[in-house]
Amino acid sequence: MAIVGAGPSGVLLSQLLHRAGVDCIVLERHTRDYVERRIRAGLLEWTTVELLQQAGVGERMMREGLVHEGILMAFDGRVHRIDLARLSGRRVLVYGQTEIQHDLDEVATGRVVWGAGEVRIHGIDTPRPQVTYERDGATQTIDCEFIAGCDGYHGICRASIPAGRITEYERVYPFGWLGILADVPPVNEELIYVNHPRGFALCSMRSRTRSRYYVQCPLEDRVEDWPDERIWEELAARLPATVAARLVTGPSIEKSIAPLRSFVVEPMRFGRLFLAGDAAHTVPPTGAKGLNLAAADVRVLSEVLIEYYHEGSERRLDEYSQRALARVWKATRFSWWLTTLMHRFSDDALARKLQLAELEYLAQSEAASKAVAENYSGLPF
Ligand code: APR
Ligand code: PHB
């Protein structure tokens, strides 16, 4: 197996395959240090937690991760709690993707080629595909049976599929998320999603001493437009007054602006190439489905590949795309819905009234809250 990309999808896949005795190599364009420094989301569905445990990287995660049983939704001066545990029977774990990446890299040492240049895939519609890359000025060639494209949204694997053999579905949202990471205690024990006339805000965390906050911002804005003080002021202005009064501010460790996009490609396979994670789909961060979907793909892909290697059954390989996409579309729908419900889209007064009506309904209806809880905590397989 040759795996392109050593983000969470690629390294987790390699670890699960390795434990089942399947020989694999991972090619990553960037250095390990660079990959581990990227700040990403940090909320795990319980099925993701279990998969990481199965991969042998659960120990630190269970020690340091924070188990959450609910989330808060703030709107129009009110706060509604969704009791995930009671309504869905499931909890979630707060544990940063940077930590997961580090834990996975530790166990994958030796199987990852960091800093591989000019990675190219060849013969994906033949039984003997190849991957080439540059290392120390020389071209290296890997002969393999299958290739996993785990190289993210901007990777080369999806782009290597001939035009017309896959269909892409895409929506780009008309705003971004400005994120700030700071070593200050979180303003609240549970996450708070805020719908405010000034725009969406989210209070999240990485630990009891490290907070992660986001505010919706115009797509054209740059990080330089947002000195720390301006972010803290804007966040406080969007939070319910009682919450804002508790907000502890401090110097940022990291700040970034991310665009929001819903993107899915169908099918997730072409010949001997399987796509997994962000290479096959991207969701807006609202609801934190990105990493969880990547883990779900890897779960199915590792399962069918291991079965193929143990029993020679090609039939299961043919099921990969359909099984993965069933979950992908449901999470794409949920993250689109939550994004639409919580953000400011325009000055359209009707749209705002409709959001408030839906939020009020959510706060009054056990059935509506249960639907959110089921999707948020992760649908069962
Ligand atoms: N050659 C080698 N490696 C590449 C190439 C290339 N041409 N192009 C991209 N890569 C690498 C990137 O440098 C990156 O490390 O592939 C990796 C892809 O990792 P991610 O973008 O993290 O994607 P994935 O592993 O699927 O993880 C999905 O992480 O990005 C978040 O929101 C996303 O939470 C989701 C999860
Ligand atoms: C995060 O902690 O970065 C986070 C949490 C929940 C989300 C998105 C991001 O919905």
DSSP secondary structure letters along 222-258: -GGG--HHHHHHHHHHHS-HHHHTT-----EEEEEEE
Q: Are strands 70-75 and 192-195 parallel, antiparallel or unpaired?
A: parallel
* CA distances in angstroms from 297 to 215, 240, 310, listed in the order given: 30, 38, 20
| Burial category of 314 from C-beta neighbours within 10 Å (exposed 0-12, middle 13-18, buried 19 and up) | exposed
pLDDT of residue 347: 87
pLDDT of residue 289: 98
Amino acid at 184: V
**Maximum alpha-carbon separation in the chain:** 64
Catalytic-role residue among 133, 173, 193, 214: 193
CA–CA distance, 130 with 274 (Å, rounded to integer) = 14
How far apart are the CA of 38 and the centre of ligand 1, in A? 10
| Burial category of 69 from C-beta neighbours within 10 Å (exposed 0-12, middle 13-18, buried 19 and up) | middle
Query: How confident is the chain (381 residues) per 10-residue block, as mean pLDDT?
Result: 98 97 97 93 96 97 98 97 98 97 95 97 97 95 98 98 96 98 98 98 97 97 98 98 98 97 98 98 98 98 96 92 98 98 94 97 98 97 86
Active site residue 80: no
Packed helices 290-311 and 314-342: angle between N→C axes, nearest 10 degrees: 170
Whether 81 lines ligand 1, by a CB cut-off of 6 Å, is no
Catalytic-role residue among 68, 196, 281, 343: 68
Residue bearing the CA closest to ligand 2, atom 3: 41
**pTM, whole model, 2 decimals?**
0.97
Q: What are the backbone dihedrals phi and psi of residue 266, each rounded to the nearest 5 degrees, phi first?
A: -135, 135
Active site residue 68: yes
Token pair, residue 166, equals 């896959």
pLDDT of residue 41: 87
Q: What are the backbone dihedrals phi and psi of residue 271, each rounded to the nearest 5 degrees, phi first?
A: 55, -120
What is the position in ligand 2's atom list of the atom closest to the CA of 96?
Answer: 2
Find out whether 153 and 279 touch, Cβ atoms under 8 Å: yes
pLDDT of residue 6: 98
Amino acid at 138: A
Whether 8 lines ligand 2, by a CB cut-off of 6 Å, is no
Tally of CB atoms within 10 A around 106:
11
pLDDT of residue 39: 85
* Residues ≥6 apart with Cβ < 8 Å to 248: 184, 185, 187, 211
Whether 29 lines ligand 1, by a CB cut-off of 6 Å, is yes
The DSSP output letter for 190 is S
Give the CA-trace dihedral at 299, 303, 306, 308, to 10 degrees.
-140
